[in-house]
């Protein structure tokens, strides 16, 4: 391969690889990966490995990368994008690969031999040297080699179905197992899956059947604050919903360990018994749940009651740049809370 | 016409492998980590093919190396299918694919 073409494709390959690591959007990463694989395939073809090079484009740049892009598009990953890489991981990510390159330097020094030419003359001599056991007289391999063509596919096929026949069968079984594994993994599990989806679906159906809010609202409106105070803590969460909007009276329904903060709404001093799994809210991960608990936020009810001012307050505290509003936590929390109190 | 030497091929495949390794360490998105793993496999394939071309057997490339690449590509395809199925199942259960948030085994 002429050196200039080699460098062109090598740089395409390396630039694609750098794009994969450096770009934050997973789709851009996948595109960089495709460019990298095309450069790699060109290098393989430059090494007279035509079959492997074609396979590289077909399987890697084609099938595998399409599968990757398909999954990236399928999962909504927008909110993962704006995460910064931590300095320590960048340091480790630079030093360890550099050490690896240092280790490989002796290898580069020890192999300095150039490739011997595979021109017509060399191929004709190779045909003469080829043992009869590998290619019988008059076979395609021999006829192609005689006219100076490298019968790449034929030679690989010859090897694959004689010497490597058993591994080929094993790989067939492996692909079958992978297929079965994919089907099993993609199957919907019922009952034993710790899945947020069933809850959300239930919450949605409850929200859709408009009779529920209609039932909750009148009961709480007619309720007397004194009566509410005497109700058990289980009912409290329901009755609290209606009392909360009225200014001046919210303290009455609050549990003992809670207080009404001016800036942050209702907050708990300690973990209440009816604390909810806040990570069910789309946009709240386990880490953010811990942070919210640190601020005294434990239940969906609290988040559902957040006023726009409280939302912006938490937005600043968690340095979110508007994510609470974007993911609409209050509406989600209202749904979850309605689902819980039914 | 001048041709690239074996050292140059090895150097660039080593570089691609190092970039893939850096990606696995730096990135937090599990899909991108998976892509970087594939890149490392592909870089190893380039090394194998370069050596297969350099060490001629009876004047022809040593096809044993290319057979290994053939099997690597097949296994990688199966691996990607299963791996992405796991990632989708993980996302369904946890609503995240960031390795920072997937720490439930720590407790």
Q: Closest residue of A to B38, CA-based?
A: A60
Q: Residue B16: is its pLDDT beyond 90?
A: yes
Q: What is the mean pLDDT of chain B?
A: 89
Residue B106 with chain A: CB contacts under 8 Å: none
Find out whether B21 and A100 touch, Cβ atoms under 8 Å. yes
Taking CB atoms and an 8 Å limit, are B32 and A67 in contact across chains? no
pTM: predicted TM-score of the whole model, two decimal places: 0.66
Helix (H) or strand (E) holding A116: none
CA distances from A146 to A138, A194, B10 (A): 10, 65, 31
Q: From first to last of its 342 residues, what are the pLDDT tens digits of chain A?
A: 568 899 999 999 999 999 999 988 889 999 999 999 999 999 999 898 999 999 999 998 889 999 999 998 888 776 666 667 788 888 999 999 999 999 999 988 888 677 777 778 888 888 887 877 777 777 888 888 888 888 889 989 988 999 999 999 999 999 999 999 999 988 876 544 444 454 555 555 555 544 444 444 444 444 444 444 444 444 444 444 444 444 544 445 666 677 777 777 778 877 777 778 787 887 787 778 888 888 888 888 888 888 888 888 887 778 777 778 777 888 888 888 887 766
Nearest to A156 among B3, B66, B80 (CB): B66
ipTM of the shown complex: 0.92
Residues of B in contact with A67 (CB under 8 A): 80-81, 84
The pLDDT of residue A253: 60
CB pairs A-B closer than 8 Å: 267
- The CA distance from B105 to the nearest CA of chain A, in Å, is 13
- Using CA atoms, how far residue A96 sits from A61, A280, B9, B22, B29, in Å, is 28, 37, 21, 7, 19
- Give per-residue burial for B64-101: e unless 16+ CB within 10 Å, then b: ebbbbbbbbbbebbbbbbbbbbbbbbbbbebbbbbeeb
Indicate the helix (H) or strand (E) that contains B4. none
Residue B2: CB atoms within 10 Å: 10
Dihedrals φ, ψ of B29, to 5°? -90, 120
**Which is it for strands A265-268 and B56-57: parallel, antiparallel or unpaired?**
unpaired
């Amino acid at each position: 391969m002429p050196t200039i073409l080699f460098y062109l494709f090598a740089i395409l390959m390396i630039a694609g690889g750098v794009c994969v690591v450096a770009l934050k959007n997973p789709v851009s990463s996948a595109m960089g990966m495709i460019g990298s694989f095309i450069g790699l395939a060109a290098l393989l073809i430059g090494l007279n490995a035509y079959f492997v090079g074609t396979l590289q484009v077909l399987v890697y740049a084609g099938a595998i990368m399409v599968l990757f892009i398909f999954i990236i598009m399928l999962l909504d990953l927008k909110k993962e994008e704006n995460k910064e890489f931590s300095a320590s991981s960048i340091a480790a990510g630079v030093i360890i690969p550099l050490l690896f390159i240092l280790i490989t330097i002796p290898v580069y020094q020890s192999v300095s031999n150039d490739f011997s030419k595979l021109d017509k003359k060399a191929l004709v001599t190779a045909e003469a040297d080829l043992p009869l056991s590998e290619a019988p007289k008059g076979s395609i391999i021999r006829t192609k080699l005689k006219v100076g063509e490298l019968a790449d596919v034929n030679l690989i096929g010859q090897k694959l179905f004689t010497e490597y026949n058993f591994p080929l069968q094993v790989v067939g079984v492996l692909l079958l197992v992978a297929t079965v594994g994919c089907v099993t993994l993609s199957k919907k599990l019922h009952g034993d899956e710790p899945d947020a989806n069933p809850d959300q679906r239930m919450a949605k159906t409850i929200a859709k059947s408009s009779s529920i809010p209609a039932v909750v609202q009148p009961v709480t409106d007619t309720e007397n604050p004194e009566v509410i105070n005497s109700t058990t803590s289980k009912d409290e969460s329901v009755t609290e919903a209606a009392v909360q909007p009225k200014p001046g009276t919210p303290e009455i329904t609050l549990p003992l360990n809670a207080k009404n903060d001016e800036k942050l709404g209702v907050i708990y001093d300690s973990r209440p018994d009816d604390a909810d799994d806040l990570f069910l809210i789309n946009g709240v991960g386990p880490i953010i749940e811990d942070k919210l608990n640190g601020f005294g936020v434990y239940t969906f009810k609290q988040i559902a009651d957040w006023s726009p001012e409280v939302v912006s307050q938490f937005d600043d505290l968690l340095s979110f740049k508007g994510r609470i509003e974007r993911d609409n936590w209050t509406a989600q929390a209202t749904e979850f809370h309605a689902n819980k109190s039914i | 016409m001048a041709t690239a030497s074996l050292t140059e091929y090895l150097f660039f495949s080593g570089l691609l492998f190092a970039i893939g390794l850096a990606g696995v360490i730096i990135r937090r998105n599990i899909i991108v980590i998976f892509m970087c793993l594939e890149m490392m496999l592909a870089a190893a394939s380039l090394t194998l093919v370069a050596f297969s071309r350099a060490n001629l057997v009876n004047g022809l490339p040593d096809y044993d190396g290319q057979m290994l690449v053939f099997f690597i590509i097949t296994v990688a395809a199966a691996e990607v299918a299963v791996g992405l199925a796991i990632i989708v199942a993980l996302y369904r259960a946890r609503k995240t694919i960031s390795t920072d948030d997937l720490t439930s085994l720590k407790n």
